[in-house]
Amino acid sequence: MRGNSNIKRMMTALACAGSAVVVAACDGQMTTTVSSTADAGATPMVLATSDIEAGRYLVLVGGCNDCHTPQYAMTNGAQPPEAEWLKGSTEGHTGPWGTTYGKNLRLTTQRLSEDQWVELLATGSSLPPMPWPSVRAMSDADKRAIYRYIRQLPGEAGEQAPDALPPGVTPPPPAPPAGTAPAA
């Protein structure tokens, strides 16, 4: 329908003018977007050359690696290589809530279907400092893109992150990253 495609083109133009959400493909040829979404329409979402690229972008700007990938925050993102991303961290976050650890999101996505992941991100809550309000605010399309990105990451899924510790319990020092010699 002509009317429809005009609206789509207008939205594309708006999206391209509107900056941060757009990853790529504003050069006339809109390949893009996550397929099979119910909420495409007017819902803001990341546009990229593929859903995997959209998911990678969201993980990067969403800061997921800061807490869910060991070494990442402490090396300013230089380590580890992408093949090791999101395997969970032994670097604890201690506060009045006790100590929490960024979970292994590869294992989480393995045990959940894509729809269950979308549901978790839409309704999730847990101890700090997991930024649930930010994650809940993502469109379903963006939640799906993150799932698809994580599921195609190479390498082993790795171990589960440590369980949270209650307030007042001193956490052990973080385990050395896999493949490195223990500190002398």
What residues make contact with ligand HEC under the rule CB under 6 A? 62-64, 66-68, 93, 100-103, 105, 108, 120, 126-127, 129-131, 135, 146, 164
- Count the alpha carbons within 13 Å of 50 in the hemisphere toward its beta carbon: 6
Q: How far apart are CB 49 and ligand HEC at their closest, in Å?
A: 20
* 47/146 with CB nearer ligand HEC: 146
Q: What is the 3-state secondary structure (H, E, C) of 47-59?
A: ECCCHHHHHHHHH
* 13/60 with CB nearer ligand HEC: 60
Q: How far apart are CB 93 and ligand HEC at their closest, in Å?
A: 5
Assess contact for 153 and 69: CB atoms under 8 A. no
Q: How far apart are CB 12 and ligand HEC at their closest, in Å?
A: 25
* Residues 8/143/153/151 CA torsion (nearest 10 deg): -110
Q: How far apart are CB 141 and ligand HEC at their closest, in Å?
A: 14
Q: How far apart are CB 162 and ligand HEC at their closest, in Å?
A: 9
* 41/95 with CB nearer ligand HEC: 95
Tell me how far apart the alpha carbons of residues 150 and 11 are, in angstroms, rounded to a whole number: 28
Element (H, E) at 9: helix 2-17
Nearest to 56 by CA among 151, 156, 168: 151
